A and B are shown apart, each in its own frame.
Chain A
């Protein structure tokens, strides 16, 4: 209980859920990437993820819990922080001693959260509707087309790309910072930082690439 009530405990939960989300992101990216190479493989894997009971009824709830935990703790901590300085500085040079990314996690977080809303609206709600509400017949080949269809709208692709830029900024600080929060700061920290830089550029850029690829190559 102390853990959930204390600032450090909350921070640890932020970090752990964040790291979990990083894993999820990697997995999500790998599947998306398949769509560039092979329609059928993409459909196959998507079908498996969408209908495997372990993924659907165990991993999916854990993922949702992770997302909820991550942003709930984020907001709780932000609330604490917003109360910690009642009179603001007249002159404050945050940029001289800390990166923009680290100082604006709540901003990038909110952008990503909003994007998640859109993403759910685009994919997850229709998916849930298809499978569990209307209970439409199984169709192992529908996924690729559904996705390509979504990427037809230039506006959606633009929002998608912008969101991933924010995700990149969020990851840029968040990934390495998670290790610090759970108490890892040692001789490996430099490597973790370097890996973070690569990861936070490659993965979001990859997502954007996939979206653009389908936007440009369809029809």
Chain B
């Protein structure tokens, strides 16, 4: 089918967006009233896009599967949002944010997109403040910043540990305003089931009303997919239970290329799995690594004793502890990037040094931070620095002020007091850099179909920097898509409303109904979760933090077999025409079972290690990731051809004109 055309504007990278914006076609306000846009998903990207499109005058229909748009999983982001405001005067600039993001992405993202992201980042903060988002402020009343994940400036704006929540509620409020004005029609508890293409263009979607099971048709002149990432293909992840790939996968099957599916971010500081009942994992902000020291016992016997509950971590003396990050990466220590920290934890646990009963946990210890802060406080207050009890108390107060909410969350879940006992952490799937392939205008390979936010692949390359996901979601939704979409829609001002009685709609609806009926009448013996858990285990074991050819080939086979078994033996209770969570879940897991295979295929094809993708075959003698720029400086964009195994690879070559490609080193 199509050859990839990224449509990157010509000219110097710093001028591309400005020039592009002033040259693209616009739709007049009078004509915008005649145009309908469908938006699927109400996270930061979907909510902000819906609000802005409605503000501009388009008729927007927005869909979310949750009971309210405010539930979208952007709400769970903790740390912050980056913006090149340089309020701290520490030398930040658009260029530096651009540079850090490209480098952090291990040189696998598009320069032009990333530069645009850095440019609009400042607008986001202005916009959010104007909306009444209560960012943290200093005593002078100005916005406060903090530093984050391996960069040299303080550019992260935050609202305690709930930045995602505050930004999402800001976007939600902007949407509410437009819903109140009648410019957005909101469909809660609706799931997109398929994309409808008429004459090669996206012209609407088929949805299922999750309350009564009704299948509905919605025509539109453009369809925007903002349905988030697909981390739940691993079953256990920090994603919400409902997070799914279905919208993205449906459009993939209708012709949109899926890019870099194997680029997954595994976050190092999550609460470890406690048992087989585990349904999801909880992340704790990586800011904890600023003060916590990560270690495992040096001695295998000690580790074993701890796992059996015979020994407490506090009983292990300093010289018997292995602060492995400080040992391996003396320059960055505990603050190495997420992918490096995660792999190092896995390496130690695989070697038998894990510290909880599952053997998959390492310690994150605040004891020395408590002492350090305590001494500092004692000194400031003129108290006795040698009074250990007093110093500990003062230190705990400082730590409580900084991380109190995270410590409380940990204690609720693990039932251990992290002020006394080191925390246990383990990496977990957190974010997917890969996603639907889009061009510079954020349009997928299907004309009129767009993908924004985590759902697309565009800005983070092979690894995302902390506090950049929120930035990208809002940049796409508030400041990029609403402009670029006009270029396409300017050809649609005379189309008139889309007729949902067209045979294309009928066909799409029939196939949706057939799939649903198939699930219900299957009468198998295994629940949907049974398959989801199995898939998750294959993905985690073979496509997780480190991957090799043998494992990936096995994964390809196993996923295919699991999928076949799923269609034969899955049991979905109830009926199609009622509130049926199992049925909704079955559809999502069916898509994960296909995506999983493409994921493994992509990971197999990319024999280099880069960012979150670590191929054991491609590492330095010291065990560090080894990129292969000569052969892999490209985006893998997969085209669907009837089955994941038959997907065809297209390569979008990445050109670095502004930034010199270097090896990342954190030694």
Contact between chain A and chain B defined by CB under 8 Å = no
Using a CB–CB cutoff of 8 Å, the interface residues on chain B facing chain A are: none
